[in-house]
Amino acid sequence: MIENHLPNTKADDGDLDMEEIALPAKYSKTYGNVIIGDRTKLPIKEALHGEVDTESNSNWLKEGRHLDMAADKTGNNGIVYVGATPDTSVANNDKKYDQTETTDIIDKKADRIETKDNEDTKLYPLEFVSSEDTSPDRIRFVTGLYNDFEDLLKNSAFKTYISDTNDFGVPSLMKTERKERTDRLKWLLTNLIKSLKELMSSTIKNDAQNDSKAVKYEELINILNLLHATKFSEPDESIILFQMWVNRADIQPDDQLVSDMENASHGTLYKNMNFWSKYLKTMIFRGYFAQAISAIDESGYENFEQTDPDLYALVKHLKSLIASYDPMKFSQYLKAFMAWKQRAANLREATIKLTFKNVEIGSQLVDIVASISGVDSALRKNCGRWYEYFLLEYMFEMPSMKKISEYVDKAQKSFSVDTVYSWETICLNIFSEQYLKAISALETLDRSVSTYTAILLSASGLLKSYSNISLHGKDIKSGEEEIQTSIDQMIEDLALSYLSNKELFSTGTGILILTDDSKARKILSEMLPNYKIESNDDFEWCLSICAKLMLPMTAKQIYNTQGEILLDNGYEYESLCCFSEAGNTKESGNLVDTLLNEKIDKDEIDSPILRQALSPLALLRNILSTEGKTIPFEKFVELIQFRYLPAHYKAVLLLLLLPYFNTNTFSLDQLIKIIEILNVYEKQINDDTQCAELSGQSYDVAVSRKDVGASKGTYDWRNLEKLPSDSMALILEIRKLIAFEISFKFLEE
């Protein structure tokens, strides 16, 4: 929250008064699984752990230690633990834990905590009851908000959105640019209200049993409607928007009264006292002028013309007066309103000379005329709530924004206001331009709406009014920075709360990246590996985030995690690709061994692509698994002449032949074939410098690791005492050995 508005928790007389409160039946000492506290009279939930025997081991109490709690901002989890002693903690009471530190504490196994004397080592995990709406409609609402505010979030543009317009240049262009940005902010607010209305309607439709959500959304709409009317309206909209605010917050006339009027016989309403004293008054005082005129026309008031001419004349003049009330014109042009008000005052003066046969109806009409002419006592008498009184003052006293503070003060003095955190209190904060209080209170209703409202207020420059006052003794600049830092923290907390929801994870990630949050890399490096990937799109999205934020190690974690999941589901080839991308040679090697030793032997590989990809490795395995004096020469030739085999692998394969020379293993034809292989390989090295370089590297790696896994067999090249120095020396050595072999062949013949 931007401001701390928690009530004072210090015991006082108000606390003692709690003892006198009678609990409803459903909140008796125990109700279901809920226990009511003796002192606070509030429901509490017991932990799932036994009571601590403080008598047997109370050292931690004597040392001044205390129970502490850490909460996870990304979810609804936390832990309770015994805090460190004052002398051993490093200013623990003042230390601020960031998100990653708190999460690290919670992620540790709840089995111990380090203390000075290694006592009281248990952690007590707890889970908070989430009040967040996670319905599909709510998810769409939050996602829509993010899309709408994306341009303001990008690089924290909201901080200088209005003030960033050019101060120098063509005046008309400067004015146009500022108007476009102001209109953009107005559109964002009106669209936010529209989206909330749609969300509330869908909530009522889909979750009729739980009306608390709908009530909360209704309160948010009431608050934003007032913000729209006071700070985001066009000059000609103020009266209409204030009417919309009040009429939405408190719907009048009530359904029963409307039903009674509709069911009355046509042309007989003029006889009904409730029509004049309640229905018509409500329609006029709530600004439903067109409906009021229509109701008068259908009432049959013409019957008064013969029986009560003064009353008839008054109804006729009243009808003409309210028909001429133009809210759009009067919002912008006060002179036009004052001319209309003069007409109302003249009519009020004229009523003094009138006499009515229907005295009760006449007195109601006189009361209406007195009210719309601005008589304060009449206005106050016809209101039941402070916001109704404010609306009447604004409509009929003078519709000027400069008079708002005066009207609100009069309304508060005349009518009580619910001072508990409710939409009424927040509206009063908006009227008094205490926007930080309003944002803080809004956060108790809805974190998303409060955060985006704070962004709107900052973007419109409304929070700059706080620069004119001293914040904690700091200068103006530091005060502005403190406010912006608080909003940044709200945005970060909102993003973190989204990360705990699968459907909103991408939205939370987007907020962190768009705002260029300094902690984004650290937070996402921990969160992305735990993201549940369900499709290729999810996988590619995670990797794109890693690439954007330059998180190679996180990408490796994701590859490894996804490789394990794919392997468990039987996707060996895809799993092998993931392990390879992660550079996980251990898992890759184990998987290859599994594929070779199990799948190939049992002929369980059905995929043609996988069989083709593994065939060279399977052939090499067959060659290496041959023990004894002979080598499967045909298979060796087939492998080394494989058209897709990279040439630099040939140096290592040729090493396999070394132990078999001078053992009378090769025939003359086989020796000639080896010469052909050497000729091709040597030409490849001479023609391609990259091939020569990679051949040398492959050979060096093989020779340097010859002791790894070496067998004791005679025909294992790794047991030779001396090996050629490089790949070219290997070719030369094999040619010499072939020459000796051929010479002996001719001597034998």
240 phi and psi angles, rounded to 5 deg:
-60, -40
Residue 291 has pLDDT above 70, yes or no: yes
Q: What percent of the chain has pLDDT over 70?
A: 80
- Cβ-based burial of 90 (10 A; exposed 0-12, middle 13-18, buried ≥19): exposed
CA angle 607, 611, 614 (to 5 degrees): 140
The rounded distance, in Å, linking the Cα atoms of 572 and 558 is 17
Q: Residue 629: its pLDDT value, please?
A: 64
Residue-wise burial string across 509-529, b where 16 or more C-beta atoms lie within 10 A, e elsewhere:
bbbbbbbebeebbebbbbbbb
Higher pLDDT, 599 or 250: 250
> Residue 79: what are its φ and ψ, rounded to 5°?
-140, 150
The band of 640, judged by pLDDT with boundaries at 50, 70 and 90, is very high
Is the pTM above the cut of 0.75? Answer: no
Indicate if the alpha-carbon torsion angle 98, 103, 106, 107 is positive or negative: negative
3-state secondary structure (DSSP) of residue 425: helix
Amino acid 389 reads Y
| Segments in 528-571 forming alpha helices (H) | 536-549, 552-568
pLDDT for 536 equals: 92
Mean per-residue pLDDT, 142-157: 93
Residue with more model confidence, 420 or 704: 704
CA–CA distance, 410 with 380 (Å, rounded to integer): 10
Least confident of 237-246, 379-388, 529-538, 703-712: 703-712
Q: Which two tokens stand for residue 414?
A: 């005349």
Least confident range from 246-255, 259-268, 370-379, 532-541: namely 259-268
Res 708: pLDDT? 72
How are beta strands 77-82 and 124-127 bridged, if at all?
antiparallel
* pLDDT for position 184: 94
pLDDT band at 6 (very low <50, low <70, confident <90, very high): very low
> CA–CA separation, 625 vs 570, rounded Å?
27
Give the DSSP letter of residue 279: I
The string of pLDDT tens digits covering residues 490-506 is: 999 999 999 988 999 99
Is the pLDDT assigned to residue 23 strictly greater than 50?
no
In degrees and rounded to multiples of 5, residue 218 shows phi and psi of -65, -40
Give the helix/strand (H/E) hosting 126.
strand 124-127
Q: For strand 67-71 and strand 43-44, is the pairing parallel, antiparallel, or unpaired?
A: unpaired
Question: Any idea which residue has 């005349």 for tokens?
Answer: 414
Rounded CA-CA distance 19/530 in Å is 48
CB atoms within 10 A of CB 680: 13
Whether residue 301 contacts residue 315, with contact meaning beta carbons closer than 8 Å, is answered with yes
Residue spans of beta strands (DSSP E) within 334-491: none
Distance CA 232, CA 242 (A): 12
* HEC letters along 378-394: HHHHCCCCHHHHHHHHH
3-state secondary structure of 251: coil
Residue 208 CB neighbour total at 10 angstroms: 9
**Per-residue pLDDT tens over the stretch 93-142:** 334 334 444 444 444 434 433 444 444 556 777 766 555 678 899 999 99
So what's the pLDDT on residue 116?
Answer: 42
Residue 545 near residue 524, CB atoms below 8 Å? yes
Q: Where are the alpha helices (DSSP H) in 131-170?
A: 136-148, 150-153
Report the alpha-carbon distance of residue 239 to residue 393 in Å, rounded: 11
pLDDT of residue 380: 94
419-464 pLDDT, tens digit per residue, is: 765 899 999 999 999 999 999 999 989 999 999 999 999 999 998 8
- pLDDT tens digits for range 250-282: 999 999 999 988 888 777 899 999 999 999 999
Average pLDDT of every residue of the chain? 82
